[in-house]
């Protein structure tokens, strides 16, 4: 018999800088009695929560190890390729732009589920990896640790043209 699986919850969060949909993977056996770790997962371009959940395997690990996974979705109106806009200065500061939305999502999930505030982590790939570096730099009091896959360093670029250079040649 297959092991019991968790389930998806879908919600919206918005602030002055915009609104984003996010999906929460609630692991099998979650009952709210014990605070669980939380992992914020930031997708790359032309990607989204469902594909990230499937490709990463985080949902299966969450079911086995007992943690909550949060997958925000970038809007096509904010970026036609669904890339996180990590290269824009407004998105490279605390309480500003997309980082404020992502931090707000984390706060909303912490309010809606039983989360251990000392075990909140962030990871991302490509544009999500670059945004992960921003979240770690700007919200070091929120995240215990993070992992960047194929993404740039904090402020590795501050313009759209600079982001192309950073992706091809590395951060300066």
**CA 25 vs CA 28, 39, 78, 114, 150: distances in Å:** 9, 10, 24, 13, 24
Give the Cα separation of 123 and 25 in Å (integer).
15
Q: How many helices (H) and strands (E) does the chain have?
A: 5, 6
State the residue for tokens 């929460």: 24
Query: Among the options 126, 133, 140, 150, which is catalytic?
Result: 126
Give which of 114, 106, 117 is closest to 31, Cα–Cα: 114
Q: Exposed, middle or buried: residue 21 (CB in 10 Å: 0-12, 13-18, 19+)?
A: middle
Helix 49-56 and helix 58-65: axis angle, to 10°? 70
Determine whether 133 is an active site residue.
no
**Chain-centre distance of CA 34, in angstroms?**
23
- Where in the sequence numbering do the catalytic residues fall? 126
């Amino acid at each position: 018999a297959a092991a019991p699986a968790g389930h998806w919850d879908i919600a919206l969060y918005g602030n002055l800088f915009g609104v984003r949909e996010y999906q929460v993977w609630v692991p099998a056996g979650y009952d709210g009695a014990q605070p669980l770790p939380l992992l914020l997962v930031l997708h790359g371009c032309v990607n989204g929560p469902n594909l990230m959940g499937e490709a990463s395997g985080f949902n299966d690990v969450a079911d086995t190890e007992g943690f909550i996974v949060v997958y925000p979705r970038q809007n096509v109106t904010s970026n036609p390729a669904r890339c996180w806009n990590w290269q824009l200065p407004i998105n490279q500061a605390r309480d500003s732009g997309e980082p404020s939305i992502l931090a707000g999502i984390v706060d909303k999930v912490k309010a809606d589920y039983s989360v251990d505030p000392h075990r909140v982590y962030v990871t991302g790939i490509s544009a999500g990896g670059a945004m992960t570096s921003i979240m770690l730099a700007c919200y070091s009091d929120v995240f215990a640790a993070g992992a960047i896959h194929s993404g740039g360093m904090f402020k590795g670029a501050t313009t759209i043209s600079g982001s192309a250079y950073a992706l091809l040649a590395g951060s300066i």
